[in-house]
Chains A and B, each alone.
Chain A
């Protein structure tokens, strides 16, 4: 079974530019998560999708971050415009369902904002 795929693996941009990350979850997984992991900290949940609907986005900075999951499969996370403090690793995870199901993580996208 293929794991969670993410691209790109690395991205360097200047502040005020925009950037997008892509995630392809494990086949058949209904729930998809985006996390932000700042260096030295644990992952912080940004948004959670159940199929193509948003379950929780309470920690997503909506003035600059947006995410979508079209057709309930792939997802994209966008930042526009980026700030220096957005430098982090962006992790995508998926699970068969919500709640007690195990989340499986992709390798992450490392973003550096200069």
Chain B
């Protein structure tokens, strides 16, 4: 079945430390991959996407993500976390063989402590 998985419900990291939020996917064709962030009582905001080309994608607020085809992963990273990065992060994938299908992961709550 087509899907996207975020194996960690919550990630805790100290301010200034690097952070990683994990995402793996399963689609039939080449994937289009996205990361969104959701702050409390606010809508989803786009962070970055991978369509084709360089496996390392840079996005908003200093975030980046690496596409790994062999591991079917698209982990979100940031070299130095800020307290203001604390939010809910969603990975999403569109099936390259069927543009009509778009799937979100269950979300990972990132807590950055001072």
Interface residues, chain A, with chain B CB atoms under 8 Å away: 4, 33, 35, 40-45, 48, 55-56, 58, 91, 93, 98-100, 102-108
| Contacts A43-B90, A43-B104 given; does A91 touch B49 at CB 8 Å | no
Contact A56–B100 (Cβ < 8 Å):
yes
Q: Which residues of A contact B49 (CB under 8 A)?
A: 100, 102
Beta-carbon contact of A107 and B43 below 8 Å: yes
Closest chain A residue to B52, Cβ basis = A100
- Collect the chain A residues with CB atoms within 8 Å of residue B101's CB: 45, 56
Does B94 interact with chain A (Cβ within 8 Å)? yes
| B43: contacting residue among A44, A45, A108, CB under 8 A | A108
Which 10 pairs between the two chains have the least Cβ-Cβ distance? A42-B104, A56-B100, A105-B43, A105-B44, A100-B51, A107-B43, A43-B104, A99-B99, A42-B106, A102-B46
8 contacts between A and B (CB under 8 A): A41-B106, A42-B105, A42-B107, A56-B100, A91-B44, A99-B99, A105-B36, A106-B43
What's the minimum C-beta distance from B36 to chain A, rounded to whole angstroms?
Answer: 8
Q: Which of A41, A102, A106 contacts B34 (CB 8 A)?
A: A102
Name B's interface SS: strand
**Bound complex: CA of A91 vs CA of B100, how far in Å?**
17
Contact A48 B104 (CB under 8 A): no
Instruction: Decide: B90 and A99 in contact? CB cutoff 8 A.
Output: no
Per-residue CB proximity of B80-114 to A under 8 Å, as 1/0? 00000000001010100001111111110000000
Write out the residue numbers on chain B whose beta carbons fall within 8 Å of the beta carbon of A43. Answer: 44, 90, 104
Q: Is B45 an interface residue (CB 8 A)?
A: yes
Bound: A93/B34 CA distance, A: 14
A99 contacts B43, C-beta separation under 8 Å: no
* B52 smallest CB distance to A (angstroms): 9
Residues in B neighbouring A107, C-beta threshold 8 A: 42-43
